[in-house]
Structure formats: C-alpha cells, structure tokens
Structure 1
Amino acid sequence: MNAKSIHRGESTRTRISAVLLVVLTLIVMGRLCAAEFVQVDDPQTIANNPAFNPPQVAKIAEYWIKPEGSLYIPLTYSVWGALAFIARVAQPDEFGSFLNPWVFHTANVVLHCITTLIVFAILRAIVKNRSAAWVGAAIFAVHPVQVETVAWASGTKDLLCALFICAAVLALLRSRERNRGVILANVFTLAACFSKPTGIIAPAVLLIIDTLVCGTNWRRSLRTLWPTFVIAVAFAIVGVIVQPPLMTEVTPLWQRPLVALDALSFYVWKLLWPANLGIDYGRTPARIIASGAIWWTWIVPVALIAIVVAARNRLIIAGISLFILGVAPVLGLVPFTFQTISTVADHYMYPAMLGVALLVATATTTFEACLQKRCQEPFSGKRFLTPFFVGCVLMVFLLMRAFAAAGTWRNNSTLFANALDVNPRSAFSHTNWGVALAKHGDESAALDHFRQAVAVDPDYAFGHSNLGGFLRARGQYTGAAAEYRELLRVYRKQRNFDPALGVSLQQVIDQLEQLAARHTTQPTAQPATQPTTQEAR
C-alpha cells in the first residue's frame, strides 16, 4: 500500500469520525431545535427586541455603535439580526413576537456542532491520535453542562465567543506560516471579543497553546501574540465602562480568592457528577460564607493547581490551565452583577470545556499507550476501538444526563419547574416564572411566585419591582406602595445608586399612597413598571 492510499484512508476515517461526532451531538441536542423562547433574557435580547420585530438593518447596525443591556456584543446582535430575517413570521405569537424561536435554537445547535468539529481538529493536531481526539471532542459535545449554553437562545453569544477562540487556536496550530497563523488568530480574537466580553481570555489561551503545546519560547510567543493582548485590554476597558456590577454587597478583597476557589470546586464537581443541573444554583458569596463551605471547598482547586505545578506532562498542565482560564473572568475575583444570584452557572463553563476535552484526549492516549505496552503487540484495528470502547462507558451516562437536561429547556414551565427543584430558594426563578405566567394570563400563579420571590430573598430588587407593578396594575395600591418602598431600600444599598432614580421612585410611592388614601380600587392605566427580569449574562 503506497503513501497516497494510506493518506486517503486516514482522511476517510477522519471524515467518518467527524460525521459520528455530529450525529452524537444531534442525538442529544437535536430536540432543542423545537424549543420555545424562555423568560431568561430571550424577550429582551431577541423575541421582543424592536430591532428584530421587524428586523431592520439600520437598527441592527446601531449595536456596533453603542452597548445594549450593559453588554457590547455587536457581532452577536448582528447574527441574531440575520436570523431574524429568516425567522420572521406573518402573525405574532401571544407575546407580540414575530420571530420563530426554532430558527434561533437550530442556529445554536449548528454553532455547537461547528465548535465541536473545531475542537476535534485541535485535539488531533495536539495528541496526534484520531480516536483519542474523538473521545475528547465527544465529551465537549455532549457533556451535560454544555446543554444550558446550547439550549438557551440568548446563549448564542457564548457559542460564538467560544467558536472564535477555538478557531484562533486551530489557526495557530495548523498554519504552515507562523505569521499567517498569528494574523488569523488576531482576527478570531477580535471576533470573539465582539461576540462576548469573555473573549478577552483568547490571548492567554493562545499563549498556553503556543508555549506548552507548540513548545515556543514564552518571550517569542509574547512578541508575536502581543496584538491579541492589546485587543483584550481594549475590550476589558470597554467592559468595565459599560457593565459596572449592580450589587448591594461587594465581597471583601481577602475573601474573593476563596470565592473563586469555591466556584472552581463546584465546576469540578459538576464535571464529575453532572446531576441536578439548573439555571440558578444560589451559590452567592454571602451564602457560601454563611454556610462555612468557603473554608474547605478550596481543597479541590488547590489540588488541581498542585498537579499543574508538579506535572511533567505539558498537555496535562495545558488542559488544567485552559479549564481554569476558561472560567477565570466569572470566578468572582472581579465582582459581576449575576453574583447576586449565583457566582456559578453552567454556561460560564462552555469555553473552559476545551481544557477538559484536552485532558480527556491526553488521558485516552496515555491509556491506549499503556495497553499497547502491556500487550506488546501492534493495535492495528484495535487502535481506534480500544479507547472508543472505554469512552463509551462514560458516554452512555453523559448521553442520558444530557438528553434529560435538554428536555428541561422545552419551555418556561419545564425550565423553571426544574430550576426550583434544584434550588427551591431561587428568587430569580420565582420571578421569571411569575412574569411568564402573568403573560399567559395565569394571574393567581404569577402572584404566588412573585410573593415567594420576595419571601426567599427580601433584597431581590426584581422581585419587589414585579410584585409592585403587578399589584398596582390591579388597583392594590397599599401593597404596591409597600413593595416599592422595599425596592427603594434595596436600590439605596447598591454601590452605584442613582439619586434621580430614588426621587422618581419616591414620587411613585407618594402617588400610590394618595390613591390608597382615597380608597380607589380601580387599576391605573399603566403599571408603575413593566415586568422586568434580571439578565443571566
């Protein structure tokens, strides 16, 4: 058999492996294509976004000029805008949206498949073992913690960001001319940052790959990758300006490393035992400090760091480093708004899964080498089957868990029912479900969830805002005034409280008290506030 035939056969096996990866991904994620929009960011970002109902090029272009919702992600909004032209329907749904959610969910599944194939190519280039690379990419594709990012229509930003980061890595690994690879890496880094602020980790990811995997001297690597660091710094500054954290309490500096280590420990646990997955784990700094968990959960991540220091295998060091780096922006070292709900969330793990995939591929390669040495004979056909069989044992469990997790994203009812099963004290879930129920006309159930939201967390501003607006719209002015007083109390505790907002809210409270004093029971023409929900970004 000549070299050309061998190469042709290898290419065919690689293509078959890629097809199998896509099929495996669709088995788990395919059901998400028929999911609905949910009451977690989707109404604001896509479903009821005026720029998309109907889609207008001029309005979509404005996202490149100014941030929206405290995020500057113009490339993501441009992708949503393009999809809106495809998703446009003649008649609006019950909430006034002219967009078919299936188009956006299908796009997410396609993006995830593309990223999975890029990860497969990256692993093949690194471990030089197609079957081991397949196992690593399969873990990336169907691990249950990946479901949230793919299932969530608003998760497109996370998918795009990770896709471009992985594309930058592949460009650096595959380019025959180093300068060309660096240029492509710069372009993909820029695209990642335009997709989501997390893209600022791209330069560090490239540095890890270039030094630990490619063996480039770190000084030389910095000299060639410096443009990507300039891009990252620029976008980091933009992020600080447009997305200041809205928090009532800020974790003291000395406690933040412990909070970060606790988050890392949580992520490691979910990787090893992906059960009880939900949109709100309620793992806030205040709660882990009060529970005492913060004083011992640091052991696991410190052990990981010790492995990095002690390990002689560069790929193990690279894999663990990429995993930690992938979640670094949202570990709590720098406060962010969603920390008032939970420091940890499944969709924060998406870029970190590249490191996990590398660790799995490296472990599979090592396992195969050990078997080959023990058997002391060539594997030939077994070379593919052996690591694949080993991975199947784990894959069956992951497939079952991931398939079940995907089912919880079918609609608002399934999503929030699962969320409250995982965390019954989730004011975030109670409020969002209440808003969704109110839109469906189930006012009694909506009111119950609004009341439970403020009961489980008296400092949850969105709970008081929605309950107050709900009561006012129905002529219950005394109760509405009480909720707005609570809302004002919570707002005043925020670091960047706007006094003008306080004055405006006090005027609303005074108006409600006057209406209550007149014993007026007719609802006002407009509620004091429209339903609002906290963004899970």
Structure 2
Amino acid sequence: MVLAVLACVVFGRGIGNDFVDWDDTTAIVYNPDYNPPSLDKLGHYWTQPFRNFYAPVLYSVWGIAAYAAYDEYVPPDITSVAAAWRLAAEPFHVLSLLAHIGSTVFAFLILSRLFERRMVPAFVGAVVFCVHPLQVEAVGWASTLYTPLSVALGLAAWWTLLAALDRRDKADGSRWKWRYVLATLLFATSLLTKPSMVLMPLIALFAEAIVRRRSRVQIKRSAWLIAPWIALSGAASWIISSYAQPALDVVRPPTLQRLLIAGDALSFYMGKVVWPVGLAPDYGRTPTMVLEGAMPWLGVSICLVVAVMSVVIFRANRAAACGLWIFLIGGLPTLGLVPFDFQLYSTVADRYAYFSLFGIAMVVSAIAARLSYQRSDNLWRWGIVTGGILLTLCVLTIRQLGFWRDSPTLFARCLDINPTSRVGLAGMLAWKSDHKQPDEAIVYGRLAVAHHHGDYRLCHRVAGVLMQLKQWDEAIAMLERAAQLAREPDAKADAVNTQGVAFALSNRPPQAEQRFRAALALQSDLHSAHRNLAALYLSQNRLADALGEFEQALRLDPANPQYRGAVAQLSADLRRMTATPATKPAP
C-alpha cells in the first residue's frame, strides 16, 4: 500500500498529460480500431504484427481502455491531438501508472523472498526501482505501456514461481503445480505484451543459485520447471529477430563493433543510474556516432571494470554481485548486439533500462541488508542519507515527468539535451506545421534535413511545409529526393504522388498528370493518385476522364463516400449533357 501511494504521489501528475505527437498518435489516437472502440476490431492483433511490432496483449488492453477514453461529444480543439478523434489521454496514463505500481509491488515481493522476508531492505530497493527518474519515459509516455506492463507480468510470474518452488520443497501436495501453471501463463502473457522479457527465466534461475543458495538438486528441479519458459523465450526471440521487428534501415556493423556499441550503451546507463540528470527521449547515440567517436572502446572498458568489481564483491555480498549482473544482462536485447529500429535515433533510451533497474534495486537491498547489522547510532546516519537520496530521486522524477505534458514541451526538451535530435527536430516540424505555423516549421525542417539527410520521411514532411509556403520548385525537388531515398515502392509512390500535387497546385498540368501516372506505375492500388487525376481532369473540364478516375478510386476504396458521391454526380452531369431534347424547337 505504501509503495502504491508513493507511486501515485510521484507519478500522479502524469495522468493529466496530453498525448504526444510521437507514436501516441499512430498507435492510439489515430488508430481506427479504437475510434470508435469495438472488440471486434482487435482480432487481427493476435494474428499478425501491427506497425512491425507483435504485442497483441498490449493492443487488446488499449482497445478496452478506449471505451473509457472515447467521448463522442468532445468538441474539436486544435490544441489537443486527441480531440479530433474524441479520445481522452487520462485512461491510458492511468493504465501506465497502474502497470508501474504492479511492477513495483512485485519487485518488493521478490526482493522480500530473496532476502528471507527482510522487509526493510526489500522496501528500500523497491522504492529506488519505483521513483528513479529513468522510469519516467516508460510510465509517462502512453504508447510505451508495453514496458511497465510486460515487466509487471514478468515479475508477477517470477514471484509466483518462487512461491511454487517453496511449496514444492515443503512437499505441499499438488498445490504448487497450480501456482506453476499460473506463473507460466503470466510469463507467456508478458512475452505477448513485449517480447523483450526473454532473459527473465535465466535471471530467475541465476538468482536461485546465487542469492537463495539452493542445493544442486533443487537447482536441477528448478531448471526443469524453467525449461518451458526458456522455450517460450526462444520463440519470442525468433519473432523479434526475423518476423515482427526488422531493422532494415539500421547500420549493421561487424560483430566486434557491436560489442563496442553494447559497451557504450551499458556505460551510458550506469552513468544515468548514478547521476540521473539531462534525461531525454532521444540522445542521438546511434551506432555510427559511437563508432566514429574519439574513444569507442571506453564503454567496454568501463563494463569490464564493473564486471571485475562484481566478481570481487561476490565473496563479500553475493546478492549485490547478482544485482549488478542482472543490471548488465537485463537489457541485453536492446544493447545493439542485434540491430533494432530505434537505433536510427539512438541505441540507448531510458525505457530500455526499466527492467534492468530491478538489478539496481537488488544491489540497494543487499547494501541495506548489510547495513542493518550495524549499531543503532550508525543506522540513523545511514537512514538520513538514504532518505535524502530517495527524496532527491522523487524530486527529479516529478520534474522529468513535466517534460511529457505535451508535444512542444517534449520536443523542446529533446533539443535542449540534443540539439540535433531527429525526434526533436521532426517533432517540432510536424507540430508547427499541423498548427498552421509554416514559417517556424520550415526552420526546424531545414535543420532536420541537414542533420539527417538520409531520412525520406523527413524530406517528405519538409516538402509539405514548403508547399504550404507555396515554394513549389523547392518542394518538388525535396519530393524527388524523398522518392530516391525511399526503399519501398509504396513510399516512392507516395512521394511521386505528392510531387504531382505540387505540380498541379503550381499550374503545371502536364507534369502533374505524368507524376500521377508514375505513382500508379509504382503502386497500382494507390487510390489517392486516381483521385488526384480526377481532380486534375475536372479542372480542365474533362468530365468523362474524371469520371473514369473516380470509378477506379471507388473500386480500390469502395467505402469512401467522397468517391461514391463524385461518381454519382459526374454520371448525372454527363447524362444531362448527352440527353436528346424531348421536343423540337419551334420554327
């Protein structure tokens, strides 16, 4: 109860935050499956990935939350990205907070078992896990619910497994088997929420041997029970590596260089654990940036030093050493050893350290347990120091949560910490453009293209702002660049189609028609290109040609009322124009 209240006090202000125009919009706000909400729309999340991410439990939970978030009477409001689709952000932020509370509570329960029911050390460790500023991104960002929710389910599975193992050792009939089945179901649900919890079975077995000091026979029995979990983790790893999250545009350095990237990421997280200031969603630590840095080997060197220290510490404090090892390996799937999509922005991100902080919580609990044996006068001193550190963490966390209150605040924070942030520049470009401020938007757009010239999406967005400013030639050139950079045919077709719009708006019909035809050659089912051709023909009074294009668009998008209405109207107009007069005119 105390931990839940503490989490609400520290993270409660985040419930009033808006959605941010970075993943929240595409994953939640503008997702037609939630607008209006319907359980019938959620089945496809279980059969295929959505936006290259397979997390059916996550999307199903959001679908249920959308019932509480949906309000058909919300008026349009340009200051809120949610208003246009009638979704309130509060229910989604409440979900994130509840998931974080669950993670914290189960972290405490696990630590209390690992430290033989010593509640005070377990409580101190759980508080660090709860209020550390590195947790803000995972809790304050609505579209990363998968992180605290998957960890909450994973830790619940671990705690239930510990209870099952203890009951089995006490020869408690078959009751332990039901606990084991429940633990397995919880772990499978965790993987279906976010597949990156794949290392938790090995960590649980590791803790059995190192912290709980189980006998060889007990460890062997535990290993047999954990083996199905490892098989589930193997299936999840296959999904991550080859099915749901292809990192096609990420640099793929040789294996030895990936070790340098992973070492840099680990050393970065160590620094932020000790000194959690200057936190931002995009640090810009891409593989290229790390490898081209002055000392790419420095991170690996720091990790080796910490690993050696943990071995030295092992004899004096096995639990503290185990906590360090959990911290080092907990985030292994997102250290860069296997390329992943976000490395286009940065290998490191605060949310990737969420589960790893359980290792830090174990270290803190181990130290607190050791200090509890000291004299009472020394305990007061250590209590004051610990209280001061925890209070500082709470203040920093509350402050950091304020940066997530809305899109412009978040993107401005990105640029304060990392002036070349792709997230910050692209975000400010989009926000200024959407809010009819093209003169300010283009400033961010030019900076974004200058620093990240290989991103076709940025080029396309900048071209849109140039079109708002009626700088047609520069917009057309930028769209040509976007088409050249795009790898997928549909992305190329989209850029070429928009190029045709720019030609049409700048009163160059022949070039516009040629680009629309080129877009259809790249993607034959691009109904918007047929629509644009129809509009072009209408401007030239070519009604029959316009009707043909609208009919093609309607064939590709039969539910579109605009196309259906245009076909009906043009058909009627053409019939009237070709109709024979009913009576002959008088001589």
Q: What's the TM-score once normalised by structure 2's chain length?
A: 0.79
The correspondence for 2:108, drawn from 103, 117, 120, is 120
d(CA) in 1 for partners of 2:142 and 2:203? Answer: 26
Whichever residue aligns with residue 260 of structure 2, its letter is L
Moved more, 355-364 or 202-211: 202-211
Whichever residue aligns with residue 280 of structure 2, its letter is G
Partner residue in 2 for 1:391: 386
Q: What's the CA shift string for 1:89-144, capped at 9, x where partnerless?
A: 12344342211101111221122112211111111111232111111111011100
Partner residue in 2 for 1:323: 327
d(CA) in 1 for partners of 2:154 and 2:506? Answer: 60
How many angstroms does 1:388 deviate by? 4.3
d(CA) in 1 for partners of 2:69 and 2:29? Answer: 10
How many angstroms does 1:226 deviate by? 0.9
1:48 matched to 2:45: no
How many angstroms does 1:190 deviate by? 0.4
Moved over 6 A (4+): 523-528
How many angstroms does 1:198 deviate by? 0.9
Instruction: Call closer, same or farther: CA 1:299–1:89 in 2, change over 3 Å.
Output: same
How many angstroms does 1:389 deviate by? 3.3
Whichever residue aligns with residue 132 of structure 2, its letter is H
Instruction: Call closer, same or farther: CA 1:110–1:509 in 2, change over 3 Å.
Output: closer
CA contact (8 A) 1:469 1:527 kept: no
Secondary structure of the structure 2 residue equivalent to 1:298: helix
1:170 matched to 2:159: yes
Partner residue in 2 for 1:250: 252
Moved more, 182-191 or 35-44: 182-191
Partner residue in 1 for 2:206: 208
Secondary structure of the structure 1 residue equivalent to 2:464: helix
d(CA) in 2 for partners of 1:201 and 1:138? Answer: 23
Kindly, what percent of the aligned residue pairs are identical? 30
Partner residue in 2 for 1:410: 405
Secondary structure of the structure 2 residue equivalent to 1:361: helix
The unaligned stretches of length 5 or more in structure 1 are 1-17, 376-381, 492-496, 529-537
Partner residue in 1 for 2:298: 296
d(CA) in 2 for partners of 1:506 and 1:171? Answer: 52
CA contact (8 A) 2:466 2:474 kept: yes
d(CA) in 1 for partners of 2:29 and 2:502? Answer: 36
d(CA) in 2 for partners of 1:305 and 1:68? Answer: 38
The correspondence for 1:367, drawn from 368, 371, 376, is 371
The correspondence for 1:150, drawn from 132, 139, 145, is 139
How many angstroms does 1:316 deviate by? 2.0
Partner residue in 2 for 1:285: 287
Partner residue in 1 for 2:18: 36
Secondary structure of the structure 2 residue equivalent to 1:59: helix
Q: What's the CA shift string for 1:369-397, capped at 9, x where partnerless?
A: 2446x98xxxxxx7xx6764332021122
Partner residue in 2 for 1:231: 232
1:420 matched to 2:430: no
How many angstroms does 1:48 deviate by? 1.4
Moved more, 184-193 or 501-510: 501-510
How many angstroms does 1:165 deviate by? 1.2
CA contact (8 A) 2:439 2:469 kept: no
Moved more, 285-294 or 188-197: 285-294
Instruction: Call closer, same or farther: CA 1:503–1:40 in 2, change over 3 Å.
Output: closer
Secondary structure of the structure 2 residue equivalent to 1:392: helix
d(CA) in 2 for partners of 1:248 and 1:501? Answer: 20
Instruction: Call closer, same or farther: CA 1:257–1:371 in 2, change over 3 Å.
Output: farther
Whichever residue aligns with residue 64 of structure 1, its letter is W
Partner residue in 2 for 1:77: 59
Partner residue in 2 for 1:11: none
Larger radius of gyration: 2
Partner residue in 1 for 2:523: none
Partner residue in 1 for 2:124: 135
Moved more, 457-466 or 165-174: 457-466
Whichever residue aligns with residue 235 of structure 1, its letter is A
Instruction: Call closer, same or farther: CA 1:307–1:186 in 2, change over 3 Å.
Output: farther
Partner residue in 2 for 1:470: 465
Q: What's the CA shift string for 1:151-209, capped at 9, x where partnerless?
A: 00011111111101111121122232354443233112101111012122222222222
Secondary structure of the structure 2 residue equivalent to 1:297: helix
The correspondence for 1:103, drawn from 91, 114, 118, is 91
Moved more, 387-396 or 69-78: 387-396
The unaligned stretches of length 5 or more in structure 2 are 169-175, 517-526, 530-587
Secondary structure of the structure 2 residue equivalent to 1:369: coil
Q: What's the CA shift string for 1:456-485, capped at 9, x where partnerless?
A: 221233311211233346654322232233
Report how many residues are paired: 495
1:347 matched to 2:351: yes
Moved more, 219-228 or 252-261: 219-228
How many angstroms does 1:517 deviate by? 8.3
Q: What's the CA shift string for 1:376-425, capped at 9, x where partnerless?
A: xxxxxx7xx67643320211221121111011111112111111101011
Query: What is the Cα-based RMSD across aligned positions, in Å?
Result: 2.7
Q: What's the CA shift string for 1:270-290, capped at 9, x where partnerless?
A: 000000000100011111222
d(CA) in 2 for partners of 1:91 and 1:527? Answer: 30
Q: What's the TM-score once normalised by structure 1's chain length?
A: 0.86
d(CA) in 1 for partners of 2:499 and 2:36? Answer: 39
